[in-house]
Structure 1
């Protein structure tokens, strides 16, 4: 492997837990609608909003990679149906995004970013719509690339190619770290990028996926040792 110059990180469940985050954000939106637009809040429970979100996606599968647009169209759909003013959907989206970015970093996340910042070009690479600046870690990253920016979601190659271009490195000089074996590990390996699987629960490699080269870790605190390992380490499939 060439000299490592850049690292790309998945976000949700890699740098922080997403447990209950989306549910709390949706609950905040419902409370807001009940208070300010009761005609909407009383008509649409969070469960019904979820059904409307699915209808939006079914009607426009071409935006499946853009979670923010799906969410906004859903809010427009329910507010329009209830006869609320157009501004209600935009307000609901702001409430949702505030809650969506109210996350708790894993204990090892900030110490790791402190150690890596300045030594490597760091890129945030996510299929979601988290804002690393609102979360308070944006200064660590040279860029944050969302699937909505690229027009495709991981494991599609354009996401990883965008990271390579943004970091201005060769594929062999980049390493991607993420928790999902398909979108992160398989996707990165297919794009020629070294892959690290953050497998916190020690799950087996999915049978449905072809085996690809990767290194497995259980916690982010193991990453510095992996980075300093011999050049051939990323050419092996970890067991």
Structure 2
């Protein structure tokens, strides 16, 4: 679908709750991750220079990514726990204080991780939906939406670590359904990932809308969901015209 085309609608009369993916749906994720990694490395220069003596910034990111890829599949949904475990191991390898690196170092990264810059239409769209629908976040990442500029619009958030599973596992969507207090068909989930967000939500019995600003083709054997070339199209597919 061309991003300028009119998106399909959803049964707005039955939707009581809208849940959003966060990274790359409400804000671009890579700039904030780079910012957080830079902030963390600057902190290392001051508090744990032995780590910087062993790793350049890019090498440290690669080391962390390799550690997370090697983690058991059943643990990959909890990015905070994995990062803290990596930090403790990093401290031991570089002979610095594990508690300092695990607690203080993680806090430096995590605070910067929540310093996001929302997509241009995100604030206005959420403001329009706030009060009309229950709004929730469902995320595989470890950002805290309530620490971001958009947090004031949300009623609840379900991170994968809390649910014990990551999208597309139905457990995380069922956890959100219980937090919302409504039946699954009364929830519309909005996200950018066609498998984790869209197929995951549909398999769990929710409605779904695909945030697809690059106008990618739908390549899955189920009917294509409503597609959003812009977040500003969301109120229209819900039938909101005021």
CA change 1:59–1:156 in 2 (3 A) is closer
Q: 1:134 corresponds to which residue?
A: 147
1:168-213 deviation digits (Å, cap 9, x = unpaired): 111111100011111111111111111100100101123xx43245
Structure 1: 5+ residue runs without aligned partners? 230-239
Q: Does 1:217 align with 2:228?
A: yes
Q: Does 1:101 align with 2:114?
A: yes
Aligned partners of 1:210 and 1:222: how far apart in 2?
Answer: 25
Q: Is the 8 A contact 1:34 1:41 kept in 2?
A: yes
How much has 1:91 moved relative to structure 2?
1.2
Q: Is the 8 A contact 1:147 1:159 kept in 2?
A: yes
Q: Map of 1:81-92 to 2, 5 A cutoff? A: 81-85=93-97, 86-92=99-105
What TM-score, normalized by structure 2, do the two folds share? 0.88
How much has 1:8 moved relative to structure 2?
0.5
Instruction: Please give the secondary structure, in 1, of the residue aligned with 2:120.
Output: coil
Aligned partners of 1:9 and 1:56: how far apart in 2?
Answer: 25
Q: 2:4 corresponds to which residue?
A: none
Instruction: Please give the secondary structure, in 2, of the residue aligned with 1:172.
Output: helix
The structure 2 residue matched to 1:11, chosen from 6, 22, 27, is: 22
Aligned partners of 1:13 and 1:116: how far apart in 2?
Answer: 19
CA change 1:59–1:144 in 2 (3 A) is closer
Relative contact order, higher structure (CA 8 A, sep 6+): 2
The structure 2 residue matched to 1:36, chosen from 47, 51, 62, is: 47
What TM-score, normalized by structure 1, do the two folds share? 0.89
Q: Is the 8 A contact 2:68 2:76 kept in 1?
A: no
How much has 1:161 moved relative to structure 2?
0.7
Aligned partners of 1:38 and 1:10: how far apart in 2?
Answer: 36
The structure 2 residue matched to 1:190, chosen from 188, 203, 209, is: 203
How much has 1:114 moved relative to structure 2?
0.8
1:68-114 deviation digits (Å, cap 9, x = unpaired): 11111111111121111122221111111122111111111111111
Instruction: Please give the secondary structure, in 2, of the residue aligned with 1:19.
Output: helix
Aligned partners of 2:67 and 2:228: how far apart in 1?
Answer: 38
Q: 1:27 corresponds to which residue?
A: 38
Q: Is the 8 A contact 2:190 2:208 kept in 1?
A: yes
Aligned partners of 1:51 and 1:116: how far apart in 2?
Answer: 40
Q: Does 1:55 align with 2:47?
A: no
Q: CA RMSD in A?
A: 1.7
CA change 1:228–1:78 in 2 (3 A) is same
Aligned partners of 2:59 and 2:149: how far apart in 1?
Answer: 33
Which range moved further: 114-123 or 57-66? 57-66
CA change 1:41–1:127 in 2 (3 A) is same
How much has 1:56 moved relative to structure 2?
4.9
Structure 2: 5+ residue runs without aligned partners? 1-10
Aligned length: 227
Aligned partners of 1:11 and 1:145: how far apart in 2?
Answer: 11
Q: 1:75 corresponds to which residue?
A: 87
